[in-house]
Chain A
Amino acid sequence: MNSIFSMSRKDVITFLIFSAVVLLMPIWLQPFGAAYPDLMQKFAIFGILAIGFNILFGLTGYLSFGHAAFLGAGSYAAVWTFKLFSMNPIPALIFAVIIAGLFALAIGYVSLRRSGIYFSILTLAFAQMSYNLAYSVLTPVTYGETGLQLALDDPRIADAAFGGGSDVALPVSNLFGMVNMNGIPGFYFCAIFLIIGFFITQRIFASPFGMMLRAIKSNQNRMSYTGFNTRPYTLTAFVISGMYAGLAGGLMAVTDPLAGAERMQWTASGEIVLMTILGGVGTLIGPVVGAWLIKYFENIFSSFNENVLHNLFAFLPEGIEKFVVEVTSMFVGEGWHLTLGLVFVLVVTFLPGGMMEGYRRIVDMFQKKDDGDGKASTKSDAATAPAE
C-alpha cells in the first residue's frame, strides 16, 4: 500500500486517452450523427455496465446471464430515492449502488456454488424471477406494467425541507438545484462516472486481487491446492460487477426518472453479454467499445427508413436503385438486429478476442513489417492470450 496512485506509464496514458475520448464525445461523434445527448448518455451508461460486467466475466470467467436484475434494482432504488428523499442524483446513486450490491450478494452467494453453465442458468433464473416479481407480487414497489414514475405529490422530504421544487410541473433531477440532469450536462454527469468506473477497473486489473481473479479463471483447482479460498474472491467480483450495474441503472433513472420491469428482462442481460464479447472479453477497453457499437447500431441503423435509403442511393439508375434499396432496407430500420447479428457472427468467427483482437492484429501487422514474417505468428499468438 505504499502508493495508492502508483500506476504504470502505460496505464496512465490509457487512462488519459480514454478520458479525452469520453469527454470529447460531443465533438468527434458529430460526423457519425451520434452527438446528441440522449445517445451519448446511453454510451456512458452502457459503458459502465459493460466494464462492470467484464470484471466478473472477463477476469473470473463466470458468465452471468442475469446482470439486468442489478440494473433494474438500481433504477428502482434511484427513482424511489427521488420520490421520497430528493431530486439530487447523488443520494439516488448511492442508494442504487447499495441496493444492487445487496442483490448481487444474495444472488451471487447462491449462484457461485456452481460453475460453468449451471452458474449461468442460476443467474438467469434469478433475473427472470426478479423480472416476474416486479410485474406481479411487487407491484406496490415497482408499479408493475406502468412502471415507477415521479408524481407531483411525492414527499421528497429533503427538497421540501429546503423549499425547493415547484408544485406545477414534475421536477427534474438536478445537482443541488444548479444543474439539470438532462441534455448535455446529464451526459457529462454520466461521463464522469464512466471515467471513475474505468479508473477503478484499471486498478483492479493491475492489482494482486485482479491477478487472483485471473488465476481462478485459469485454474480454480490449482488455486485451492495453493491455499486460496476462492469463494470470497468470486463473490467479491460478482458484487463489484453488480454494483457497477446498479450505478448504470441509477444513472438511467437520473437522466430519465422512471423505472420499468423490462430493464430486468433476459434480453437485457443478453445484451450485456453481447457487448462484452463483441468488444473483447477480459480487455480493459473492449467492453466499452462493444457497448458503444451496439448502442450506435441500435439508435442509428434503426432510424434509417426507406426515404433515407432512397436519398442515399439516388445517384444510381432507377432499376438498380430500387433493388439496392430493397436489399439494404432489410438491414436497417426494424431490421437492425439482422445487421447486429451478422456483425456478431463475423467477429466471433474471425476475431474470437473481439474488436480488441482486431485492433491488436492491425498493430502487430505494422510492427512486424520490418521483422520479416517468420516469427510474427508465434508472437502475436502470445500477445492475444493475455487478458489485459
Chain B
Amino acid sequence: MTTNNENIVLHVADVHKTFGGLHALSDIDLQIEEGKTHAIIGPNGAGKSTLLNVVVGRLAPTRGAVVFDGQVLTGKQPHEINQVGVARVFQTPEIFPDLTVLQNVMIPALAKRDGDFKLNFLSSLEDEVEIREEAEHMLEDVGMKASKDMFASSLSRGDKRRMELAMCLMQHPRLLLLDEPTAGMSRHDTNTTIDLLKKIKERGMTKVIIEHDMHVVFSLADKISVLAGGRIIAEGTPEEVRNNPKVQEAYLGGAH
C-alpha cells in the first residue's frame, strides 16, 4: 500500500463480492489518485462492472469497504453516494427517455438543491434560467445543442451516451465513473468523446474508465489496472501494462 494518502480520492479497500459460489471480485485493492484518469480493463466477465456497482452502492460488497475522500461509502444509498460527488455513466444509457434532452440535462443540476426533496410546486420551470443556460452550454460542449427539444427516447444510441455524459458533467462531480463511454459510437463520435474527456481532465476531475477500446484507453489513461477473473493481475502506467507479459497473455493476446 502506498502512503501518499492525501492524493487518494477513492480507495477500494480489500473488496470481495460473491454471488452464491461465484467469486466475482476477490482481494480488490484499488487506489485512485485525485485528478487522474484511471482505466480498468479486462476480458468480459472479469468483474469490471461489478466493481463499479459496488462503488456507487448498487451492490453491497461481501467484505471490504469503499472509502471516498475519507468517508466510507459502503452501506450508503445510491443517492447519498452521488451527493458526496460520485457520478456514473452506465454501460446501457440510464436516461429519462420520456423527457426532452434539455430536461434530461437540467435535472442533474437541480439535484444539489432539490435532491433531498423540495416541494417547489409554485415556482415555474421557466424561472430556472441559470440552470437552463448552463445546460444549453453543456449541450453545446457535447455537440448536441440542435437536439435539445427532442425526446431522449428518439436519440441514437451514441447520442444517448453523450447525453448521459453531459448529465453527469452537469453535477461537477469529484469522481466520474465511466462504464464503456464510447461503446456503440462511430469513430468520429468516439474521438469527440475522447477530446471532451481530455478537456474535463484539464479541469481536474478524477475519472475511472472501463473500456474495451484500447485506442480510448491509451489516449486517456494515466494509470491502468487489469482485471481478470475478479482479481487485479497488473497495475501501472499504460507503457508498463502494455509491456507486461501477464497482461498480454490474459487479455491483449499480443495483438496490441
Q: List chain A positions with a Cβ less than 8 A from chain B.
A: 1-4, 6-8, 200, 203-204, 206-212, 214-215, 217-219, 221-230, 232-233, 236, 382, 385-387
Contacts and interface: CB of A to CB of B under 8 A. Distances in A.
Among B78, B122, B128, B154: residue with most chain A CB under 10 A:
B122
A229 B82 CA distance: 10
Nearest to B129: A2
Contact of A212 (B97, B114, B127, B153): B114
B120 interface: yes
15 contacts: A1-B120, A6-B126, A8-B126, A207-B120, A209-B120, A209-B121, A210-B121, A211-B125, A214-B98, A215-B99, A219-B96, A222-B94, A227-B83, A228-B79, A385-B98
B183 to A, nearest CB: 18
Given A222-B94, A227-B112, A386-B151, A8 B82 contact: no
Given A203-B121, A207-B123, A227-B83, 8 more contacts: A210-B125, A214-B96, A215-B107, A219-B97, A225-B78, A227-B112, A385-B151, A387-B98
Contacts of B117: 229, 232-233, 236
A206 B126 contact: yes
B256 interface: no
Interface of B: 56, 77-79, 82-83, 87-88, 90, 94-100, 103, 106-108, 110-112, 114-128, 150-151, 153-154, 167, 171
A219 B94 contact: yes
B99 A211 contact: yes
B108 A229 contact: no
Contacts of B78: 224-225
B256 to A, nearest CB: 33
B97 A226 contact: no
A3 B121 CA distance: 12
Contacts, number: 128
A1 B122 contact: yes
A4 B122 contact: yes
B116 A229 contact: yes
B171 A227 contact: yes
Residue among B97, B103, B112, B123 having the largest count of chain A Cβ atoms under 10 Å: B123
Interface of A is mostly: helix
A211 B107 contact: yes
Nearest to B107: A215
Given A207-B120, A207-B124, A226-B171, A215 B83 contact: no
Contacts of A236: 117, 119
B94 A225 contact: yes
Contacts of B122: 1, 4, 203, 207
Nearest to B116: A229
Contacts of A2: 123, 127
B141 to A, nearest CB: 19
A225 B103 CA distance: 16
A209 B118 contact: yes
A208 B123 contact: yes
Contacts of B77: 224, 229
Contacts of A224: 77-79, 82
A218 B99 contact: yes
Nearest to A233: B117
A217 B151 CA distance: 15
Nearest to B177: A225
A211 B100 CA distance: 11
Determine which residue in B115, B119, B124, B150 has the highest number of CB atoms from chain A within 10 A of its CB, and name it: B124
Given A218-B97, A382-B151, A387-B98, A227 B120 contact: no
A225 B52 CA distance: 12
B99 A206 contact: no
B127 A6 contact: yes
Contact of A7 (B79, B100, B124, B151): B124
A212 B111 CA distance: 10
Contacts of A6: 124, 126-127
Contacts of A7: 124
A59 to B, nearest CB: 11
Given A227-B83, A228-B79, A382-B150, A221 B94 contact: yes
